[in-house]
Amino acid sequence: TSSVKDVTPEGAWSGTTPSVEHLRVFGCIAHAHVPDARRTKLEDKSRSYVLFGFSAESKGYRLYDPVCKKITVSRDVVFEEGKKWDWDKSYEELINLDLEWGNDQEHSESGTNEEEHIEEEPDQELPTGEENEASPIAPTQSDIPESSTAIGNRTK
């Protein structure tokens, strides 16, 4: 204030200097931790954002993702206050990759196909069902011994 030199209004009122360690440079690059449940083991453990402000609902920072164009809230953040986001760089090129799909027929005709397809004839032919109604796997009623069928029909 003009009446008290080099003292903040809070310091003049309460006699203690408030802590400003939690304040960060607006627009600096921030790296937020991605929880284990939201990533696979080969994905990065953090994502890069731009500091947008402080969250009013929770103890966290509001972070802007310029690639996805979304705002997220996170409290596990590491800041690079000396660096700024490169807004001139086009990140859409990294996201929208146009893949060119080839035809498998082209590779096999040119002889560059690495796999060889070998057709093998079966060793035995399967029964069609016309020659014999009984399957060799499932026995017919005449093949089952009488002692095993009599077990189910026992009376006391």
DSSP string, 29-49: EEEEEPPGGGS-TTS-SEEEE
119 pLDDT higher than 60: no
30 vs 100 pLDDT, higher one: 30
Angle (nearest 5°) at CA 49 between 27 and 94: 120
Sheet containing strand 46-54, edge to edge, reads 70-74, 61-65, 46-54, 28-33, 77-84
90 vs 71 pLDDT, higher one: 71
How does residue 153 score in pLDDT terms, banded at 50, 70 and 90? low
Domain ranges (residues) in the chain = 21-84
Q: What share of the chain is helix, strand, coil (3-state, %, to 5)?
A: 15, 20, 60
Q: Give the pLDDT confidence score for residue 88 in this predicted structure.
A: 76
Three-class HEC string of 49-103: EEEEEECCCCCCEEEEECCCCEEEEECCEEEEEEEECCCCCCCHHHHCCCCCCCC
The rounded distance, in Å, linking the Cα atoms of 15 and 156 is 100
Pick from 79, 60, 81, 80: which is nearest to 71 by CA? 60
The rounded distance, in Å, linking the Cα atoms of 50 and 86 is 10
Q: Give the pLDDT confidence score for residue 154 in this predicted structure.
A: 58
86 vs 153 pLDDT, higher one: 86
State whether CATH 2.60.40 applies to domain 21-84: no
Q: Give the pLDDT confidence score for residue 18 in this predicted structure.
A: 82
Q: Give the bridge partners for 70, in sequence order.
A: 65
pLDDT tens readout for residues 6-22: 888 888 889 888 888 87
Q: Mean pLDDT in the chain?
A: 74
